[in-house]
Each structure stands twice: as C-alpha cells, then as structure tokens.
Chains A and B, each alone.
Chain A
Amino acid sequence: GEDVEQSLFLSVREGDSSVINCTYTDSSSTYLYWYKQEPGAGLQLLTYIFSNMDMKQDQRLTVLLNKKDKHLSLRIADTQTGDSAIYFCAESVNDYKLSFGAGTTVTVRA
C-alpha cells in the first residue's frame, strides 16, 4: 500500500538547522522525493534520492534514507527566511505515480 506520513508543522530559528521527517510504507519505492511549495505557487522539486542510497547532499540540503525503518529526512542547514514553505515528501509507487505526504509547514522565525 501507499501511505506517506509527515509531521504537520515545524518552527525553526533563522540560522539553525531544520530537520523534516517522513515515513513511507512501500518498500519497493525506487525513488523518494522532497518538494517545496511556497505560498500561492506550485510544487518545486528540491531533491530526490534513489532507494539504494543512504544519503545525498546538495548544497544546504542533506537527505537521509533509512530503508529498514522506511524513514526519510530532509535537513536544511543555516535555515533562512526564504526557506519558509510547505515541504512534501513523496515516494514513487510505480513508473508513473507518486504518493505524497500531507506536507510539513516550516516557519522560520528571526
């Protein structure tokens, strides 16, 4: 089955690191994704990780994948006000479909 879960809210101080967590259920997912949605906009693909990887780093973003626990996390280093947004975790269900979590609203406070 497909069920992606995320916590709904995260508040972080500017300059600190943010960690957004996600759990998924489909152990056959090939790719896992993180998307960012700013107010009034569409979803922007931030990064993705292939299921045979444990970690992927891309500038301020670090993705960690624990396949045994079906746990995915996104760490944003040196969080800025422009990082305030909703972050969606998604898993690939098959070649065509993604299953999305409900999204984590990240608020960056000064």
Chain B
Amino acid sequence: NAGVTQTPKFQVLKTGQSMTLQCAQDMNHNSMYWYRQDPGMGLRLIYYSASEGTTDKGEVPNGYNVSRLNKREFSLRLESAAPSQTSVYFCASSDLTLGQYFGPGTRLTVT
C-alpha cells in the first residue's frame, strides 16, 4: 500500500496563477481532508469530504475549492494564488475511528 500520495511535492506560483493539488489514497477510507501547515500554527483544516460525493468547509476555506473525484481522490484548487497561501499543504484520509493518515505534503510558494 502506498497510503496517501500527493502531487506535486514542490510548486512555485506567481500571484494570480491557478493550480490544483492532487491527492489519492489506497486504504479504502471514506473520509479525506486538506490541511495547511504554517509555522507555529499547527494544522488548520481547509476542506474535508466525509464520504464520496460530499465536501464541507473547514476552518480556513477562503481562496480554495475542492473536488472529491471518487472514493480514492480528493483535489484542492487555488483559483488565484496569493502570497498568503504560501504554506505546506497536507492531504489526509481516515476511517473515522483510528485517526487520520497523512500524505508527504506539497510545499507551495506564491511570489
């Protein structure tokens, strides 16, 4: 099992550009999540998908959109990147009771 995979690993964008971060899991989990991690702030939930076909806003959804493409895949889109979106982005999945399993992260810089 690969677990949770994310692409790309690194990305540099100019302000106003758009991009989609991809995430896939092979653990047959129902729930998937997108977080951002900033120094000294822990992880903040951007969006989550409790099950295939549903998505909900988390703590910091502004400037982002998500798509739950199927049970395996959950993508995060930045329509018009801003420097405040410079961060490390983590995707996670879970089967509810035993915690969330995280991907390796995407390091995004917006100049």
Return chain B residues, CB-CB under 8 Å to A103. Answer: 42
Stretch of B13-21, B60-68, B70-78, B90-98 at the chain-chain interface:
B90-98
Return chain A residues, CB-CB under 8 Å to B108. Answer: none
Return chain B residues, CB-CB under 8 Å to A24. Answer: none
A102 to B42 CA separation, bound complex (whole angstroms): 4
B31 within 8 A of A: yes
Return chain A residues, CB-CB under 8 Å to B97. Answer: 31
| Chain A residue nearest in CB terms to B49 | A96
Taking a contact as CB atoms closer than 8 A, the residue among A31, A90, A96 that contacts B31 in the complex is A96
Return chain A residues, CB-CB under 8 Å to B43. Answer: 43, 88, 100
The smallest beta-carbon distance between A61 and chain B, in angstroms, is 14
Return chain A residues, CB-CB under 8 Å to B42. Answer: 4, 88, 100-103
Contact A102 B48 (CB under 8 A): no
The smallest beta-carbon distance between B57 and chain A, in angstroms, is 11
A95 to B99 CA separation, bound complex (whole angstroms): 10
We find that the number of chain B residues with CB closer than 8 angstroms to chain A is: 24
The smallest beta-carbon distance between A91 and chain B, in angstroms, is 11
Contact status of A42 and B45, CB under 8 A, knowing A8-B40, A31-B97, A96-B31? no
A96 to B98 CA separation, bound complex (whole angstroms): 11
A107 to B41 CA separation, bound complex (whole angstroms): 19
Chain B positions 24-57 with a Cβ under 8 Å from a chain A Cβ: 31, 40-43, 45, 48, 50, 56
Taking a contact as CB atoms closer than 8 A, the residue among B40, B48, B99, B103 that contacts A97 in the complex is B48
Complex A-B, nearest 9 residue pairs according to Cβ-Cβ distance, in ascending order: A42-B102, A100-B42, A43-B102, A102-B42, A100-B43, A45-B99, A42-B104, A33-B99, A96-B50
The 23 sampled A-B contact pairs (Cβ below 8 Å) are A33-B99, A35-B99, A42-B4, A42-B90, A42-B102, A42-B105, A43-B92, A43-B102, A45-B99, A45-B100, A45-B101, A48-B99, A88-B42, A95-B50, A95-B96, A96-B56, A96-B94, A97-B45, A98-B45, A100-B42, A101-B42, A102-B40, A102-B41
